Amino acid sequence: MLNGKNAIVTGGTRGIGLAVVRTFLHNGAKVALFGSREASVQRALTQLREEQPDWPVMGLWPDLTDYAAVERAVQEVAQTFGGVDILVNNAGISAREPLADYSPEAFRSIMDLNVTAVFHGCKAVEPIMRAAGKGCIINTSSMVSLYGQPSGVGYPTSKFAVNGLTRSLARELGRAGIRVNAVAPGVTRTDMVAALPQELVDRISAPIPLGRIGEPQEVANAYLFLASDLASYVTGEILSVDGAAQT
């Protein structure tokens, strides 16, 4: 589904991001995964190459809150692969502190990585995609961007902002042939959830109409659809993948 496409996936070293990288590679794309540290990037690359030594994958670890670093990394990928067709802005952090315990520094930090870094990625790839006359940007939102959460206000606030950025850039960049969408995952079996006691996972799953939490591959499939030509007339959408958890 992605033969001949070149992709960047931020936050691509584990969880949903790594599932997206693997899914894109399985579907014929060349992929550059971005991580926060060299060690985590190299670990992910080793894992992928053990699965399939011939996969065209590379890794970088720019500071996503530093626009110059992001621009350099994007240019390196474009020069190595011959362009950038797909950008997945997946890197992010969450928080659960109540407002009384929430420091301004923590709020600023979550906004820097969850919003400013997304803007940096979009800005860095835009001229490359505009010159090609086409491109696809997929941002990672969250189900809490639609419904909020009872504490940790910075996280849903940042994801509300990602939704606004997504819908606005879809309108701005559409005439350049660039589609901009977002995926809003629900509770997914990432490393953090996998470490929880089964009793707690069962309690979390109980209100979900499908009766279970999601798997990373199920979420990655949504990114694959949006990145592929099957979604050639889809832009400005926030695609929920949450088992109807909040409906």
| pLDDT value of residue 149 | 85
| Choice among 67, 102, 147, 155 that is catalytic | 155
Percent of the chain as helix, strand, coil, to the nearest 5? 50, 15, 35
For residues 68 and 117, the answer to whether their CB atoms sit within 8 Å is: no
Is 155 part of the annotated catalytic residue set?
Answer: yes
pLDDT over 90 for what percent of the chain? 83
Largest CA distance in the chain: 52
pLDDT at 202 > cutoff 90: no
| Euclidean distance between CA atoms 63 and 20, whole angstroms | 21
Residue 46 and residue 124 in contact, taking contact as beta carbons nearer than 8 Å: no
> Once rounded to an integer, what is the mean pLDDT over residues 30-56?
98
Nearest-angstrom CA–CA distance, 92 and 148: 17
- What phi and psi, each to the nearest 5 degrees, are found at residue 107? -65, -45
Q: Which two tokens stand for residue 126?
A: 């835009």
> Which domains does the chain carry?
6-239 (3.40.50.720)
Q: Quick check: 195 pLDDT over 70? A: no
Q: Would you tell me how many other CB atoms lie within 10 Å of the CB of residue 27?
A: 15
- Statement: residue 33 has pLDDT above 90: yes
Ramachandran region, residue 133 (left: φ > 0; alpha: ψ -120 to 50; beta: rest) = left
Average pLDDT over the chain reads 94
Average pLDDT over residues 31-55: 97
**pLDDT-based confidence at residue 28 (cuts at 50, 70, 90):** very high
Question: In whole angstroms, what is the distance from residue 242 CA to residue 130 CA?
Answer: 33
pLDDT over 70 (residue 51): yes
**What mean pLDDT comes out for the span 6-22?**
97
Exposure string (b/e) for 93-122, b if CB count within 10 Å is 16 or more?
A: ebbeeeeeebeeeebeebbbbbbbbbbbbb
Distance of CA 110 to the CA centre of its chain: 15
Q: What is the pLDDT of residue 147?
A: 85
Mean local confidence (pLDDT), 8-34: 97
Q: Mind listing the pLDDT tens digit for each residue in 105-121?
A: 999 999 999 999 999 99
Contacts of 138 (CB under 8 A, 6+ apart): 86, 87, 88, 89, 180, 181, 182, 183, 223, 226, 227
Distance of CA 47 to the CA centre of its chain: 20
